[in-house]
Amino acid sequence: MSRQQSSDSPPEGWPRCESGAVEVMLLGTYHMDNPGLDVAQIDVDDVLHPERQAQLRTTVDALEGWCPDRVAVERPYDRADEVNALYDEYRSGERSYDTEQEIEPPHPRRDDLTTECRSEVVQLGFRLADRLAHDRVYPIDYPMDLGNDAYAALAERGFEPTDKVPFEHVDVGELERELTEQIATKTIPAFLVWQNREQNLGTDATAFFGETLRWGQGDNFGGPEMVATWYDRNLRMVHNLWRAVESGDDRILAVVGASHVHVLRELLSNAPMFCPVSALPCLEDAV
């Protein structure tokens, strides 16, 4: 298969990659298994429905042309053996991508036996790696609790940070309504295009730096601690991407929750061995 070139004119906000750096395509997606772990909760339909399955195949068709050397997924790094045992079952045909499967989720915050088969890890990550005949996938996540005692103490006493200057606020309720409407009215590739556009990638950064960062009082730095934990998690994900790289690799595709894309792009841009790449050009080919 001929390898699709990365764009010479990358989308807004993305760097032009120099030769020698490992390109990391960041595919931001919603959590298709809908585990309720994000700040903004959305209602999603069943990706095992035949129409959604056709849309997922179209999405993978478009991503396949980029020909990554490795596919990384948002599952815990220390559960790699379990994740790849499951991948082997899909790759061998023992499990089917388009039917419900009972699976013990390889994730500390998921316990429903019928959701992992619907996850973007299986439906996009496994499917793409399988299509490319990869013998394994690369879990890169390091789940961490964002909350902390200092932040909880502020909330308990009714702390509200002052605005001081006018700036954009994130209305979580409005964001939830918009996300739910978009996924209900769009195909999966069209929704992923919408989700990976620059104006939508910055929503979580606005929330972290515009809202969370301001939570603190005296020697209580609960908000900054929460932002630092978010960066800590994503830094570990970048490190785990580096662990996945082998000599001669040119490209990795990472399937991650859309909230990670903005910060991972920032971190990867500062690492001279990496270059972050937008998934938009590939996704637009699937629409």
Query: Does a structural domain hold residue 94?
Result: yes
Rounded to two decimals, the pTM is 0.93
- pLDDT for the residue numbered 85: 98
Query: Does a structural domain hold residue 243?
Result: yes
Query: Does a structural domain hold residue 3?
Result: no
Query: Does a structural domain hold residue 5?
Result: no
Q: Give every residue of the chain whose pLDDT is below 50, as ranges.
A: none
How many of the other CB atoms lie within 10 Å of CB of 26?
Answer: 24
Q: Which domain holds residue 87?
A: 22-285
DSSP structural state of residue 212: G
Query: Does a structural domain hold residue 9?
Result: no
Query: Does a structural domain hold residue 140?
Result: yes
CA distance 192 to 284: 9
- pLDDT for the residue numbered 144: 95
CA angle 173, 264, 151 (to 5 degrees): 50
User: Considering its fold, how many domains does the chain have in total?
Assistant: 1
- pLDDT for the residue numbered 203: 85
What values do phi and psi take at 91, rounded to 5?
A: -65, -35
- pLDDT for the residue numbered 18: 87
Note the pLDDT tens digit of each residue in 131-176: 999 999 999 999 999 999 999 999 999 999 999 998 888 888 888 8
DSSP 195-210: HTSHHHHTHHHHHHHH
